[in-house]
């Protein structure tokens, strides 16, 4: 989970909400492992724990949370993945929690992960053990760092054994217990046994007869994923466009770029690594000498003029992919392009020139965004925290300049995380979010703009209006945050509106929907609502009803709302459908004052909405006391 949009790794997460992260994670793990571990591959969940809510959003920094929030919120997706998907491997995080580095935190791994969450798999570290020695200074030698980590519950050091190699002398002098090492070895063998990799203990597992996926099927699935991800954030009616019926001007540095649609941990970003290393070896990066430790130094290192080489690499890897401009011209051959704006520099244009260039257009499409990756001049990605999560360069000014021409401006934002888009929103007739859609990005965006795809994405994280509102998330504690009962006298005095620009779960459509709550109940151990959804517009579309809950009386402060369930339903114009949303009562569990964990007896309000901020109906049900965990 990530709740501070300044953090560069937001695009690697599933968002700000525990239920969303759990459902997405469970699906991913089941897809990798299969239901019976016969896929021959195991999934690793990362990072444990609360890595995405670090101090000031700095990468690998301290996490300042109480144990109740750690257990009840941030551990919940791991708890669910272990219980519902048979999660086999967990990787520790790089932060410290209440002064104890995660890599040596016995409470995190022995008590919480293996004790409360019931994990019996493998805990691995990806360089975090060495940080005990070099970053946190909690270990005097490599051997002591390894001893602290294994004692805390880490089993394997990745990608090398530079720290654990120092354990032998500590075992020999009695400083480190060999039994602890034996336990780590046992955990490794247990996981290998599950896969049938120890013939003396179990026969080798026979993987399922997996059929290779054809290129055409892979492309179809990629298109489907991209189509369902595009999110319409704002629209005054200008969208969708009709090919040939408008004089369209396209502006913006992202319109002609393919690289911008790929994040870190993609083949494109992988291909940039040797290019960046070669730049250093060639002496083209002042202040950095080539060494075995060069990779960590490069996360925030500028590589002047490298963008064309990175763009060439993206096009080489994906020769069939189209830029947004190329895809738009495929659908409408009269689209004009005007080269204004920059992702990397400020003030590269005169506003009056921009307005004059598009004066003959009927509509303007501004394509803007930020680059996400490991090396080079990216503004998002691992190790790339920003103090101002805004459109980089002069892109926000570009959109404002375009609006001076008096023509409707449709702004396409390419980003894997929320950005501060208040100025863009005010200057635009429509705002479309394209969240790192990969090789299908150009054609998908064009198809959405021309109405060939109806947008159905929803925001997995809240978009603040100002950086001063960060961290901002929908499930904040009652009595805190933007959804406060006395917000007019509680919010920010220097903001006219203290609510989000785009709330969690937000996304518009080219049609309209009505939702009505038919029934809400506690049936057995499940909370459930039955709702009728109707497409009241003139186009087909996808509705995504969302079920939230709020505890009306608890012994500890609870969230103002908690996501319980959601679903997708496609409806033709005028069509209706009945849907059922439900969740086990235990989803509302939390840690009580006496240390027990469960649900207290009382009233719970169930809320049906099209977003966290748009609640269509609500009903209150009474629930009994349920104790899940006892101290």
Domain boundaries, the chain: 10-194, 216-457, 513-629
The H or E element that residue 189 is part of is: helix 178-194
Looking at the structure, give the CATH architecture of the domain made up of residues 10-194: Alpha-Beta Barrel (3.20)
Q: How many CB atoms lie within 10 A of CB 321?
A: 19
**How many whole angstroms separate alpha carbon 280 and alpha carbon 303?**
9
What is the phi/psi pair of residue 257, to 5°?
Answer: -115, 135
* CA nearest to 277, candidates 314, 303, 315, 308: 303
Domains 216-457 and 513-629 share a fold: no
**pLDDT score at 348:** 84
**3-state helix/strand/coil string of 256-309:** CCCHHHCCCCCHHHHHHHHHHHHHHHCCCCCCCCCCCCHHHHCCCCCCCCCHHH
Give CA angle at 459 (400, 339), nearest 5°: 30
Residue 139 makes CB contacts below 8 A (sequence gap 6+) with 104, 132, 133, 145, 148
pTM, to two decimals: 0.95
Looking at the structure, give the CATH architecture of the domain made up of residues 216-457: 3-Layer(aba) Sandwich (3.40)
Give CA angle at 125 (124, 127), nearest 5°: 155
3-state helix vs strand vs coil in the chain, percent to 5: 30, 20, 50
**Three-state DSSP class for 148?**
helix
Q: What is the CATH number of domain 513-629?
A: 2.60.40.10
Q: What is the mean pLDDT of each run of 10 residues along the chain (631 residues)?
A: 95 97 96 78 94 90 93 97 95 94 97 96 95 95 96 94 91 94 95 85 68 88 96 98 92 98 94 86 75 63 87 96 97 95 88 95 97 91 93 96 96 98 98 97 98 97 97 95 77 91 98 96 95 97 98 95 97 98 97 96 97 97 93 75
* CA nearest to 614, candidates 530, 502, 535: 502
Residue 419: is it exposed, middle or buried by C-beta count within 10 angstroms (0-12/13-18/19+)?
buried
The H or E element that residue 400 is part of is: helix 395-403
**pLDDT score at 207:** 64
Q: Which two tokens stand for residue 26?
A: 């469970």
**pLDDT score at 123:** 98
Q: What are the CA-CA distances from residue 183 to residues 88, 142, 418 (Å)?
A: 16, 20, 43
Asked if omega into 471 is within 30° of 0 (cis), the reply is yes
**pLDDT score at 376:** 86
Q: In 159-261, where do the E strands start and end?
A: 231-235, 248-251
Q: How many CA atoms lie within 13 A of 54 on its CB side?
A: 24
Distance of CA 164 to the CA centre of its chain: 33
**pLDDT score at 441:** 98
Pair type for strands 526-535 and 576-584: antiparallel
**pLDDT score at 217:** 93
Residue 404 contacts residue 357 (beta carbons within 8 Å)? no
Q: How many CB atoms lie within 10 A of CB 95?
A: 27
| Residue the block writes with tokens 């991209």 | 226
């Amino acid at each position: 989970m990530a709740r501070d949009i300044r953090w560069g790794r937001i695009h690697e997460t599933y968002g700000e909400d525990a239920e969303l992260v759990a459902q997405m994670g469970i699906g991913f793990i089941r897809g990798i492992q299969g239901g019976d571990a016969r896929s021959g591959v195991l999934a690793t969940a990362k990072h444990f724990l609360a890595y995405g809510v670090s101090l000031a959003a700095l990468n690998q920094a301290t996490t300042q949370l109480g144990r109740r929030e750690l257990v009840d919120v941030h551990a919940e997706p791991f708890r669910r993945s272990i219980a519902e998907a048979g999660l086999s491997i967990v990787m520790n995080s790089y932060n410290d929690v209440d002064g104890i580095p995660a890599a040596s935190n016995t409470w995190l791994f022995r008590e919480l992960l293996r004790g409360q969450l019931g994990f019996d798999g493998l805990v691995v570290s990806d360089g975090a053990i060495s940080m005990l020695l070099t970053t946190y200074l909690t270990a005097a030698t490599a051997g002591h760092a390894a001893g602290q980590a294994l004692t805390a519950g880490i089993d394997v050091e990745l990608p090398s054994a530079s720290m654990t190699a120092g354990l032998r002398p500590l075992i020999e002098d009695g400083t480190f217990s060999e039994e602890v090492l034996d336990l780590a070895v046992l955990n490794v063998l247990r996981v290998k046994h599950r896969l049938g990799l120890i013939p003396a203990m179990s026969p080798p597992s026979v993987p399922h007869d997996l059929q290779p996926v054809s290129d055409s099927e892979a492309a179809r699935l990629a298109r489907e994923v991209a189509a369902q991800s595009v999110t319409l954030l704002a629209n005054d009616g200008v969208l969708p466009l009709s090919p040939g019926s408008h004089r369209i001007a396209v502006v913006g540095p992202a319109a002609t770029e393919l690289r911008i649609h790929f994040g870190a941990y993609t083949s494109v970003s992988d291909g940039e690594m040797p290019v960046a290393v070669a730049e250093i070896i060639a002496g083209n990066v002042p202040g950095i000498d080539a060494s075995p430790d060069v990779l960590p130094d490069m996360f925030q290192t500028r590589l002047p003029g490298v963008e064309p080489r990175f763009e060439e690499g993206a096009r080489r890897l994906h020769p069939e992919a189209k830029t947004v401009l190329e895809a738009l011209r495929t659908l409408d051959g009269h689209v004009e392009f005007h080269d204004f704006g920059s992702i990397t520099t400020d003030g590269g244009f005169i506003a009056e020139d921009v307005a004059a260039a598009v004066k003959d257009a009927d509509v303007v499409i501004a394509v803007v965004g930020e680059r996400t990756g490991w090396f080079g001049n990216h503004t998002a990605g691992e190790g790339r925290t920003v103090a101002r999560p805004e459109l980089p360069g002069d892109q926000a000014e570009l959109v404002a300049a375009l609006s001076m021409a008096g023509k409707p401006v449709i702004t396409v934002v390419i980003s894997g995380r929320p950005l501060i888009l208040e100025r863009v929103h005010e200057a635009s007739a429509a705002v479309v979010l394209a969240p790192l859609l990969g090789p299908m990005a150009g054609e998908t965006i064009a198809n959405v703009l021309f109405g060939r795809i109806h947008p159905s994405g929803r925001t997995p994280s809240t978009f603040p209006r100002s950086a001063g509102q960060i961290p901002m998330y929908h499930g904040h504690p009652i009595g805190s945050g933007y959804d406060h009962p006395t917000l007019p006298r509680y919010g920010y005095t220097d903001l006219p509106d203290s609510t989000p620009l785009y709330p969690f779960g937000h996304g518009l459509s080219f049609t309209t929907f009505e939702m009505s709550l038919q029934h809400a109940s506690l049936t057995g151990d499940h909370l459930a609502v039955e709702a009728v959804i109707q497409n009241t517009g003139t186009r087909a579309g996808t509705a995504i009803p969302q079920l939230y809950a709020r505890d009306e009386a608890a012994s500890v402060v609870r969230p103002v709302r908690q996501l319980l369930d959601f679903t997708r339903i496609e409806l033709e114009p005028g069509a209706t459908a009945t849907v059922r949303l439900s969740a086990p009562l235990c989803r509302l569990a939390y840690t009580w004052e006496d240390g027990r964990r469960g649900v207290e007896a009382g009233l719970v309000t169930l809320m049906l909405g099209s977003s966290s901020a748009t609640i269509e109906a609500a009903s209150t049900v009474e629930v009994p006391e349920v104790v899940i965990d006892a101290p």
